[in-house]
Amino acid sequence: MSFTLEIGEKAIDFNLPGTDGKTYSLENFKDSKYLVVFFTCNHCPYVIGSDEVTRKTVERFQPLGVEFVGINSNSKNTYEDDDFPHMVERMKDYKFPWKYLYDESQEVAEAYGALRTPHFYVFDENRRLVYTGRGVDSPRDVSKMTVNDLERTLEELTSGKPISVSLTNPIGCNVKWEGKDKHWMPAEACDLVF
Protein backbone atom coordinates (compact mmCIF):
# COMPACT_ATOMS: atom_id res chain seq x y z
CA MET A 1 0.00 0.00 0.00
CA SER A 2 1.18 3.50 -0.86
CA PHE A 3 1.99 5.91 1.97
CA THR A 4 -0.08 8.66 0.36
CA LEU A 5 -3.82 8.34 -0.27
CA GLU A 6 -4.30 7.01 -3.79
CA ILE A 7 -6.44 8.36 -6.62
CA GLY A 8 -10.02 7.11 -6.27
CA GLU A 9 -9.80 6.57 -2.51
CA LYS A 10 -12.33 8.21 -0.19
CA ALA A 11 -11.53 11.24 1.94
CA ILE A 12 -10.57 10.17 5.46
CA ASP A 13 -12.54 11.72 8.28
CA PHE A 14 -10.98 13.92 10.94
CA ASN A 15 -12.05 15.74 14.06
CA LEU A 16 -9.82 18.78 14.50
CA PRO A 17 -9.91 22.18 16.17
CA GLY A 18 -9.94 25.24 13.93
CA THR A 19 -8.43 28.66 14.51
CA ASP A 20 -12.00 30.04 14.68
CA GLY A 21 -12.71 28.12 17.90
CA LYS A 22 -14.86 25.43 16.24
CA THR A 23 -14.12 21.75 15.70
CA TYR A 24 -14.41 20.32 12.18
CA SER A 25 -14.97 16.93 10.56
CA LEU A 26 -15.88 15.95 6.98
CA GLU A 27 -19.54 16.26 7.97
CA ASN A 28 -19.11 20.04 8.30
CA PHE A 29 -18.38 20.25 4.57
CA LYS A 30 -21.16 17.98 3.31
CA ASP A 31 -22.98 20.89 1.65
CA SER A 32 -19.94 21.74 -0.49
CA LYS A 33 -19.85 19.99 -3.84
CA TYR A 34 -16.06 19.59 -3.86
CA LEU A 35 -13.40 19.59 -1.16
CA VAL A 36 -9.72 20.52 -1.14
CA VAL A 37 -7.75 19.36 1.90
CA PHE A 38 -4.21 20.68 2.05
CA PHE A 39 -1.41 20.23 4.55
CA THR A 40 0.26 23.51 5.39
CA CYS A 41 1.91 25.29 8.32
CA ASN A 42 3.02 28.69 9.60
CA HIS A 43 6.76 28.84 8.93
CA CYS A 44 7.56 27.02 5.66
CA PRO A 45 8.92 29.35 2.93
CA TYR A 46 7.11 27.27 0.26
CA VAL A 47 3.81 27.85 2.05
CA ILE A 48 4.50 31.53 2.68
CA GLY A 49 5.69 31.99 -0.90
CA SER A 50 2.51 30.56 -2.46
CA ASP A 51 -0.24 31.48 0.03
CA GLU A 52 -1.43 34.44 -2.02
CA VAL A 53 -1.68 32.29 -5.17
CA THR A 54 -3.67 29.77 -3.13
CA ARG A 55 -5.89 32.62 -1.88
CA LYS A 56 -6.69 33.64 -5.49
CA THR A 57 -7.55 30.02 -6.35
CA VAL A 58 -9.83 29.76 -3.32
CA GLU A 59 -11.58 33.04 -4.15
CA ARG A 60 -12.12 31.89 -7.72
CA PHE A 61 -13.48 28.42 -6.94
CA GLN A 62 -15.40 28.84 -3.66
CA PRO A 63 -18.40 30.31 -5.57
CA LEU A 64 -18.37 27.12 -7.70
CA GLY A 65 -18.89 24.91 -4.64
CA VAL A 66 -15.29 24.14 -3.70
CA GLU A 67 -14.46 24.22 0.04
CA PHE A 68 -10.84 24.53 1.21
CA VAL A 69 -9.44 23.13 4.45
CA GLY A 70 -5.85 23.74 5.52
CA ILE A 71 -4.38 21.39 8.13
CA ASN A 72 -1.21 22.03 10.11
CA SER A 73 0.29 18.75 11.33
CA ASN A 74 3.80 19.98 12.08
CA SER A 75 5.34 19.24 15.47
CA LYS A 76 5.49 22.41 17.56
CA ASN A 77 8.55 20.86 19.22
CA THR A 78 10.40 21.02 15.90
CA TYR A 79 9.18 24.52 15.02
CA GLU A 80 7.60 26.50 17.83
CA ASP A 81 6.08 28.85 15.23
CA ASP A 82 3.86 25.97 14.10
CA ASP A 83 1.93 25.79 17.38
CA PHE A 84 -1.78 26.58 17.62
CA PRO A 85 -1.48 30.13 19.03
CA HIS A 86 0.71 31.07 16.05
CA MET A 87 -1.91 29.55 13.71
CA VAL A 88 -4.61 31.74 15.27
CA GLU A 89 -2.35 34.79 14.97
CA ARG A 90 -1.54 34.01 11.33
CA MET A 91 -5.22 33.73 10.38
CA LYS A 92 -5.93 37.00 12.20
CA ASP A 93 -3.11 38.75 10.34
CA TYR A 94 -3.79 37.36 6.86
CA LYS A 95 -7.52 36.49 6.94
CA PHE A 96 -7.06 33.53 4.61
CA PRO A 97 -10.35 32.35 3.06
CA TRP A 98 -10.04 28.75 4.23
CA LYS A 99 -10.55 26.81 7.45
CA TYR A 100 -7.27 26.26 9.29
CA LEU A 101 -7.18 23.15 11.49
CA TYR A 102 -4.61 21.76 13.93
CA ASP A 103 -3.59 18.10 13.76
CA GLU A 104 -1.45 18.02 16.89
CA SER A 105 -1.42 14.20 17.11
CA GLN A 106 -0.33 14.00 13.44
CA GLU A 107 -2.84 11.15 12.92
CA VAL A 108 -4.56 12.95 10.06
CA ALA A 109 -1.27 13.67 8.26
CA GLU A 110 -0.37 10.01 8.62
CA ALA A 111 -3.80 8.82 7.42
CA TYR A 112 -3.61 11.02 4.31
CA GLY A 113 0.09 10.39 3.79
CA ALA A 114 1.04 14.05 3.77
CA LEU A 115 4.61 14.44 2.54
CA ARG A 116 5.32 18.15 2.45
CA THR A 117 3.93 21.60 3.12
CA PRO A 118 2.02 22.45 1.08
CA HIS A 119 0.49 19.14 -0.13
CA PHE A 120 -2.95 19.28 -1.79
CA TYR A 121 -5.72 16.67 -2.02
CA VAL A 122 -8.73 17.39 -4.27
CA PHE A 123 -11.95 15.40 -3.77
CA ASP A 124 -14.96 15.16 -6.08
CA GLU A 125 -18.67 15.25 -5.14
CA ASN A 126 -18.42 11.65 -3.86
CA ARG A 127 -15.35 12.60 -1.81
CA ARG A 128 -13.12 10.45 -3.99
CA LEU A 129 -9.57 11.67 -4.54
CA VAL A 130 -9.08 13.06 -8.07
CA TYR A 131 -5.77 14.90 -7.59
CA THR A 132 -2.90 14.98 -5.12
CA GLY A 133 0.42 16.80 -5.16
CA ARG A 134 1.70 20.33 -5.60
CA GLY A 135 -0.33 23.49 -5.95
CA VAL A 136 2.13 25.20 -8.30
CA ASP A 137 5.51 24.30 -9.78
CA SER A 138 7.45 27.08 -7.98
CA PRO A 139 5.79 27.67 -4.60
CA ARG A 140 8.76 29.31 -2.94
CA ASP A 141 9.05 31.96 -5.66
CA VAL A 142 5.82 32.28 -7.62
CA SER A 143 7.38 34.83 -9.99
CA LYS A 144 9.00 31.73 -11.58
CA MET A 145 5.74 29.75 -11.66
CA THR A 146 4.79 28.25 -15.02
CA VAL A 147 2.14 25.72 -13.93
CA ASN A 148 -0.75 25.96 -11.45
CA ASP A 149 -1.82 22.34 -11.04
CA LEU A 150 -4.41 23.10 -8.38
CA GLU A 151 -6.18 25.64 -10.56
CA ARG A 152 -6.08 23.38 -13.62
CA THR A 153 -7.50 20.49 -11.62
CA LEU A 154 -10.33 22.63 -10.25
CA GLU A 155 -11.10 24.06 -13.69
CA GLU A 156 -11.46 20.54 -15.04
CA LEU A 157 -13.39 19.27 -12.02
CA THR A 158 -15.92 22.10 -11.87
CA SER A 159 -16.57 21.94 -15.63
CA GLY A 160 -17.12 18.16 -15.63
CA LYS A 161 -13.97 17.33 -17.59
CA PRO A 162 -11.67 14.41 -16.77
CA ILE A 163 -8.64 15.33 -14.68
CA SER A 164 -5.74 15.48 -17.14
CA VAL A 165 -2.96 15.12 -14.53
CA SER A 166 -4.04 13.53 -11.26
CA LEU A 167 -0.66 13.08 -9.58
CA THR A 168 2.34 15.35 -9.06
CA ASN A 169 5.07 15.49 -6.45
CA PRO A 170 4.36 18.06 -3.74
CA ILE A 171 7.07 20.72 -3.49
CA GLY A 172 7.88 22.12 -0.06
CA CYS A 173 9.28 21.43 3.39
CA ASN A 174 8.92 17.97 4.89
CA VAL A 175 6.10 17.50 7.37
CA LYS A 176 7.80 17.89 10.76
CA TRP A 177 7.15 14.59 12.55
CA GLU A 178 7.21 14.52 16.34
CA GLY A 179 10.46 13.22 17.81
CA LYS A 180 12.19 13.02 14.42
CA ASP A 181 14.86 15.08 12.69
CA LYS A 182 13.28 17.96 10.77
CA HIS A 183 14.30 16.36 7.45
CA TRP A 184 13.02 12.87 8.32
CA MET A 185 10.41 11.19 6.16
CA PRO A 186 8.80 7.76 6.68
CA ALA A 187 10.65 5.07 4.69
CA GLU A 188 7.52 4.27 2.66
CA ALA A 189 6.96 7.95 1.82
CA CYS A 190 8.73 8.02 -1.50
CA ASP A 191 7.98 10.41 -4.38
CA LEU A 192 4.48 10.02 -5.82
CA VAL A 193 5.62 10.04 -9.44
CA PHE A 194 8.91 9.17 -11.09
Cβ neighbors of 194 (< 8 A, separation 6 or more) are: none
Identity (one letter) of the amino acid at 86? H
Series of mean pLDDT values for 10-residue runs along the chain (194 residues): 87 98 98 98 97 98 98 95 97 98 97 96 98 97 97 98 96 93 77 59
Torsion of CA 186, 43, 112, 137, to 10 degrees: -90
Q: What does the pLDDT read at residue 184?
A: 83
Domains assigned to the chain: 9-189 (3.40.30.10)
pLDDT of res. 182: 84
Q: What is the pLDDT of residue 191?
A: 64
C-alpha angle 62-18-60 in degrees, rounded to nearest 5 = 15
pLDDT for the residue 193: 61
Burial string for 165-190 (b: 16+ CB within 10 Å, else e) reads ebebbbbbbbbbbeeeeeeeeeeebe
Residue 187 has a pLDDT of 72
pLDDT tens digits along 9-33: 999 999 999 999 999 999 999 999 9
What pLDDT is attached to residue 194? 45
Query: Which strand ranges, in their side-by-side order, compose the sheet holding 99-102?
Result: 99-102, 66-72, 34-40, 119-123, 129-133
Element housing 156 (H / E): helix 149-158
Residues 39, 118 contacting (CB under 8 angstroms)? yes
| Whole-Å CA distances, 23 to 9, 39, 82, 87, 127 | 24, 17, 19, 15, 20
Q: Cα(89)–Cα(163) distance, rounded to whole angstroms?
A: 36
